[in-house]
């Protein structure tokens, strides 16, 4: 029996790990699966876990008011070490590039626990964007024993960096699994359905922005550009699920709060958010996860960044980088409003992020990797 610990701390991590955890739990004759929540997010994460019926075996409860990434990392490291000594896992699974994932990988390395990295090989090439995620994911690559890559480009990146190809599995991204599951089985809330229905004659623009490196004047100017675009067009309405970070909530209330065709919403449950994206005319976001979701939904996306670790969404014709210059965002909005050819062509290529079976592919790879290590030993 292989003891697998899966660590997460934020809602995006859970979204991308749920199909992996379920695949592991479905093989109870081979895996003993334990889930650990760091508590890096609280208000966003706990209701989501309850809706999914996700079991949390250990909660590290690291969140403190106004703490920074270094404090989160220190608390995760301190809390995990005795758990490793108690459980003695065969593998620690982490996902993505959060502070929880980075600290968990380092804790595993200290205890000589093999680390498996879900969504390995993403690179923007700029250590300051996204911050601190780009450095986190590079560090995790150095600490991990096994690498579960979503795309062939991610595999090639890992190999170029010196990772043994025998320790890489091409699995697709389990975020696709989660999105397909929501589309097949979940319905949005009545409130979101009513909001979309009320504006059914207008073009729906969906905004999300929360990246730490965008806080301040850049984020505020992007909001002003979007406000001017909406106010100049009676047939456009914008919906903005606002991240709870005060840097986002304060700016959104000040700049957008009194605009009649802008709806500021609290963070949405995943089915509501997916429904909103699926009804959008255009999405504007700095989120990496949204870049993956539009590839499944076939929706056009303006990326509020000057680089991306997911170039596949641009290659697929679904995304366009607008950089960190608000004037450029305004120019691109005017261009696509005048000539809708790009919008009409969105979604014409296969999803580059997988087939919706990534959880199973990752469980298969874990069994293969650990079985091989055991036979070698």
What is the residue extent of each domain of the chain? 2-173+355-376, 190-345
| Topology agreement, domain 2-173+355-376 and domain 190-345 | yes
Q: Is 210 a known active-site residue?
A: yes
51, 55, 152, 212: the catalytic one is 212
What was the pLDDT predicted at 80?
Answer: 94
Q: Is 212 a known active-site residue?
A: yes
What was the pLDDT predicted at 224?
Answer: 96
203-208 sheet: strands from edge to edge? 262-265, 236-241, 203-208, 282-285, 301-303, 319-321
d(CA 96, CA 10) in angstroms, rounded, equals 11
| Fold exhibited by the domain 2-173+355-376 | Rossmann fold (3.40.50)
What was the pLDDT predicted at 376?
Answer: 54
Which phi and psi (to 5°) does residue 302 adopt? -100, 120
Q: What proportions of the chain, in percent to the nearest 5, are helix, strand and coil?
A: 50, 15, 35
119, 134, 181, 221: the catalytic one is 119
The architecture in CATH of the region 190-345 reads 3-Layer(aba) Sandwich (3.40)
What was the pLDDT predicted at 253?
Answer: 96
φ/ψ region of 207 (left if φ > 0, alpha if ψ in -120 to 50, else beta) reads beta
What was the pLDDT predicted at 65?
Answer: 74
What was the pLDDT predicted at 377?
Answer: 46
Q: Is 41 a known active-site residue?
A: no
Half-sphere exposure of 3 (CA within 13 A, CB side): 10
75, 117, 199, 243: the catalytic one is 243
Kindly state the DSSP code that residue 202 receives in the 8-state scheme: S
d(CA 196, CA 278) in angstroms, rounded, equals 11
13, 90, 133, 213: the catalytic one is 133
Whether 307 contacts 321, CB under 8 Å: yes
With a cut of 70, list the residues of the chain below it in pLDDT.
41-44, 347-348, 372-377
75, 123, 210, 222: the catalytic one is 210
**Among 48, 45, 50, residue whose Cα is nearest residue 61:** 45
What was the pLDDT predicted at 371?
Answer: 86
d(CA 20, CA 146) in angstroms, rounded, equals 15
97, 181, 213, 286: the catalytic one is 97
What was the pLDDT predicted at 344?
Answer: 79
Q: Is 243 a known active-site residue?
A: yes
What was the pLDDT predicted at 52?
Answer: 78
Whether 301 contacts 291, CB under 8 Å: yes
Whether 84 contacts 114, CB under 8 Å: no
């Amino acid at each position: 029996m292989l003891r697998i610990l899966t660590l997460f701390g934020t809602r995006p991590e859970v979204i991308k790990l749920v199909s992996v955890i379920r695949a592991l739990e479905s093989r109870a004759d081979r895996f003993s699966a334990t889930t650990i929540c760091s508590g890096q997010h609280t208000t966003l994460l706990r209701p989501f876990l309850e809706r999914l019926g996700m079991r949390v075996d250990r909660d590290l409860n690291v969140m403190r008011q106004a703490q920074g990434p270094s404090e989160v990392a220190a608390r995760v490291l301190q809390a995990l070490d005795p758990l490793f000594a108690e459980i003695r896992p065969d593998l620690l699974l982490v996902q993505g590039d959060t502070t929880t994932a980075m600290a968990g990988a380092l804790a595993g390395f200290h205890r000589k626990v093999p680390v498996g990295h879900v969504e390995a090989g993403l690179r923007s090439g700029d250590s300051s964007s996204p911050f601190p995620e780009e450095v986190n994911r590079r560090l995790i690559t150095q600490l991990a024993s096994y690498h579960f890559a979503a795309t062939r480009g991610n595999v090639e990146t890992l190999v170029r960096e010196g990772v043994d190809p025998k320790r890489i599995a091409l699995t697709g991204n389990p975020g696709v699994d989660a999105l397909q599951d929501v589309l097949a089985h979940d319905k949005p809330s009545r409130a979101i359905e009513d909001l979309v229905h009320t504006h059914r004659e207008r073009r729906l623009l969906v905004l999300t922005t929360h990246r730490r490196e965008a806080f301040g004047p850049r984020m505020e100017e992007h909001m002003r550009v979007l406000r001017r675009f909406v106010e100049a067009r009676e047939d456009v309405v914008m919906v903005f699920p606002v991240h709870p970070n005060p840097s986002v909530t304060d700016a959104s209330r000040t700049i957008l709060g009194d605009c009649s065709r802008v709806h500021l919403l609290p963070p949405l449950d995943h089915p509501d958010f997916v429904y909103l994206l699926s009804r959008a005319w255009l999405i504007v976001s700095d989120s990496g996860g949204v870049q993956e979701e539009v590839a499944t939904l076939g929706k056009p996306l303006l990326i509020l960044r000057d680089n991306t670790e997911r170039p596949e969404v641009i290659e697929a014709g679904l995304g366009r980088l607008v950089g960190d210059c608000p004037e450029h965002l305004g120019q691109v909005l005017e261009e696509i409003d005048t000539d809708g050819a790009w919008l009409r062509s969105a979604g014409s290529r296969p999803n580059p992020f997988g087939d919706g079976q990534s959880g199973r592919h990752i469980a298969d790879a874990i069994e293969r990797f650990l079985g091989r290590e055991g036979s070698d030993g």
